[in-house]
Amino acid sequence: MKIDFIKTICPYCGCGCGIILEVVDGNIVKTLPDKDHPVSRGQLCIKGWNAHEFVHHPDRLTSPLLKGKNGFQKIPWEQALDIAAEKLKAAADKYGPDAVAGLSSARVSNEENYLFQKLIRTGFSTNNVDHCARLCHGPTAAAMARALGSGAMTNSIDDFVGADLIIMFGSNAAETHPIIMGKIYEARAKGATLIVVDPRRTEPAKNADFYLPINFGADIPLINGMMGHILDNGLEDSFFVTERTQNFEAVKKNLASWPMDKAVEISGIGPNMIAKVAQLYAKAKSASIVFCMGITQHSCGTANVHAICNLAMLCGQVGRQNAGINPLRGQNNVQGSCDMGALPNLLPGYQDVTDPGVRSKFEASWKTCLPSTPGLTVTEMTGQAGDNVKAIYIMAENPMMSDPDINHVRERLKKLDFLMVQDIFLTETAQLADLVLPGACFAEKTGTFTNTERRVQLLRKAVLPPGEAVDDFTILNRLAQKLNLDFDYKNPEEVMDELATLVPIYGGINFTRLESAGLQWPCPSHDHQGTSFLHKDNFSRGKGLFVVPDYTPPREMPDPEYPLVLVTGRMFCHYHTGTMTRRSKTLSQEAAHPFAQIHPDDALALNISQQDSVRVSTRRGSIVLSARLTRDVRPGSLFIPFHFAEAPANALTHEALDPVSKIPEFKACAAKLAKEESKEDRKHDSRKGQDI
């Protein structure tokens, strides 16, 4: 018997915890925590402890599949890659470069993301490349890059422990980032004040010193109220504002139109509470802001993030250890896939595709001519599928679960000339594909992931992929060669070495240096030790930019026909579209069925009891799931997790987009609720009908 212990990184959330896979005779039998890991230090959440459970699942894709009249048929790799290259090229040749689009992935490595965007850009001369960061932190990247010069978490995960105040906006980190929540609780145990702003009474809200049950989408009014109070009482850091920022006068002028009573009326938070948390935040020695999708997934998501940046700069709570503005990234490599330029307007390292100097640097390295016009975002690609977009290549993404209004997405994807999906399971999106390529999972490849605190970490191969499946690095190289591109990488390490020459924030990073604890970017040179917090003496853009945040309420408010507000989100035992966690025995036993959280008052009015079957409907569709009665949601609202394909929450959500980042408004739309008749009730009713 051969036993190996392979150190690698958890494949789930952006905490990027260290795990050790125990491999017996080529099979992973156990996941253990890595006591030496710089972030998790021997701790894992339930997902991490069971990270191996989906790896050897019998549903894994084991050979390329081509769809014919009788469904999918296995075909050899050579044929599959010939078809892929021919079909993608045919769409570009017939309809023009922008008829091809590619969706990269926050689940695959940095090197694979880098190759994917390079293949789309150089192979088809289009910038139509994006990934699901658009659907979680698109506004963060847009607003923080504009205001501060970098869209990433400003501080490190360990910095939370040293903060004396932490304010969480729209983040249920207890479910989404458990190890980070542990650090926040550690800070609180040491005396830090915890403030939670959330319409739902989440676990952090229940454990907070101050809980602000804000109205849906009213973050800008609340923050404006706080800033007004800070200025009225001279609590701002005027030295910081003068020395480190610009455009403050415009924001100050705008605050004059936000008197406290207006902030109170829209936010639903009382004036004393607004004043209290404003004072605490402004006076704290080191105050850290944490935010997540409760801030970003709104049609004013980018403006929400600007409001947060304004508040932090007003009080000088950024550019210091233990303070900062900290967006928690959801998926394991969502930070890295953005860093790698899997974005329609940015080349690797956040370098603008419209800048001729930037393009010529990449053109010289890649020996090609690059397109200068930004491409389509995720939602634009699917929205234009069948019209302008004729062929889409999707790597390890599942828009049939993650995009808003999936009934519409399905219709659109069916109109394509060619849909190719590369994944480890036959996902809801792969089922619609013309061609499916079997990829490898995290445990079957080498490469790097970048976690939410900008830490680039090594991913180590523990086992072989099943059947004929191969890692995405190999698939991309072979496909690029079929497209006659100049790709000749021997291993992912060579990709990182090329990347380091083109992306200054990764300039000093190579695989050898990542061996022990990884490195936090910016790491511009080989003697640089990485950066634990950003914007110390100057912001990455020079002076921090105050931006007036335009408040707009949610686009679809409740009305007599659809009287409830629907909110969607994640839960502790599952991850993203459930592709992996729902194939984990332990995790799926812990959380097996879809449910809707309903306030008991709403349930009573509709004669709904605990665990009754209910139908939730919006103008886009309806789903049936189980009722979970709880006072954690406010009366007049519902919460549904989006992991369950049998009751997909995104059949209900709508496509209202933030105009800047193009993120959909997942956090509020109008819905109605009804008790679903049981089969017995329906039989009874039909008999009644016959009687009549």
* Chain positions contacting ligand SF4, by CB under 6 A: 10, 12-13, 15-17, 40, 44-45, 47-48, 177-179
CB of 100 to ligand SF4, least distance (A): 34
Give me the least distance between CB of 105 and ligand SF4, in Å please: 17
3-state SS, 547-614, equals CCCCCCCCCCCCCCCCCEEEEEECCCCCCCCCCCHHHCHHHHHHCCCCEEEECHHHHHHCCCCCCCEE
Give, as one character, the DSSP assignment of residue 336. Answer: H
Identify which of residues 13 and 119 has a Cβ nearer to ligand SF4 in the complex: 13
Cα–Cα distance for residue pair 21/4, rounded to 1 Å: 8
Taking alpha carbons only, the member of 97, 496, 176 closest to residue 336 is 496
Nearer to ligand SF4, 332 or 377 (CB): 332
Beta bridge partners of 5: 22
Is 374 strand, coil or helix? coil
Closest-approach residue to ligand SF4 (CB) = 48
CB 412 within 8 A of CB 385: yes
CA angle 156–161–166, rounded 5-degree value: 90
Q: Which residue has the tokens 């709508």?
A: 654
Helix (H, G, I), strand (E, B) or coil at 278: helix
| Tokens 């210091």 -> residue | 320
* Spatial separation of the C-alpha atoms in residues 123 and 483, rounded to whole Å: 7
The CB-of-17 to ligand SF4 minimum distance in angstroms stands at 3
| Closer residue to ligand SF4 (CB): 48 or 594 | 48
DSSP calls for 463-522: SPPSTT---HHHHHHHHHHHTT-----SSHHHHHHHHHHH-GGGTT--HHHHTTT-EESP
First to last CA, the chain: 73
Neighbours of 243 (CB within 10 A): 10
Distances (CA, A) of 655 to 137, 406, 664, 667: 16, 10, 5, 11
Query: HSE on the CB side for 291, CA within 13 Å?
Result: 29
Is the Cβ–Cβ distance between 356 and 372 less than 8 Å?
yes
Q: Please, what is the minimum distance in Å from the beta carbon of residue 246 to ligand SF4? A: 37
**CB of 584 vs ligand SF4, minimal distance in Å:** 11
Q: What is residue 664's DSSP assignment?
A: B
Looking at the Cβ atoms of 117 and 448, the one nearer to ligand SF4 is: 448
Token readout for 84 is 């892929």
For ligand SF4, the closer of residues 40 and 127 by Cβ is 40
**Sheet of 27-33, strands arranged across:** 3-9, 18-24, 27-33
Q: In the bound complex, what is the minimum distance in angstroms from residue 48's beta carbon to ligand SF4?
A: 2
Burial of 316 (0-12, 13-18, 19+ CB in 10 A): buried
Q: What is the DSSP letter of 676?
A: P
- Pick 252 or 460: Cβ nearer ligand SF4: 460
Residue 94 buriedness (CB in 10 A; 0-12 / 13-18 / 19+): exposed
Place of tokens 């976690």: 451
C-alpha separations of 601 from 232, 534, 609 in Å: 40, 47, 11
Q: Report the alpha-carbon distance of residue 639 to residue 304 in Å, rounded.
A: 21
CB of 133 to ligand SF4, least distance (A): 17
CB 664 within 8 A of CB 135: yes
Closer to ligand SF4 by CB, 334 or 432: give it.
Answer: 334
Helix 219-232 and helix 301-314, axial crossing angle in degrees, nearest 10: 20
DSSP string, 401-454: HHSSSHHHHHHHHHT-SEEEEEESS--TTGGG-SEEEE---GGG--EEEE-TTS
Assign 624 to helix, strand or coil. strand
Q: Which is nearer to ligand SF4, 301 or 641 (CB)?
A: 641
Tell me whether residue 193 or residue 584 sits nearer to ligand SF4 (CB atom). 584
Q: Which is nearer to ligand SF4, 44 or 505 (CB)?
A: 44
What tokens does 577 get?
Answer: 């579209």
CB of 43 to ligand SF4, least distance (A): 8
Nearer to ligand SF4, 126 or 333 (CB): 333
Distance CA 101, CA 382 (A): 10
* Minimum distance from residue 46 beta carbon to ligand SF4 (Å): 7
Q: Rounded distance, CA 282 to CA 408, Å?
A: 46
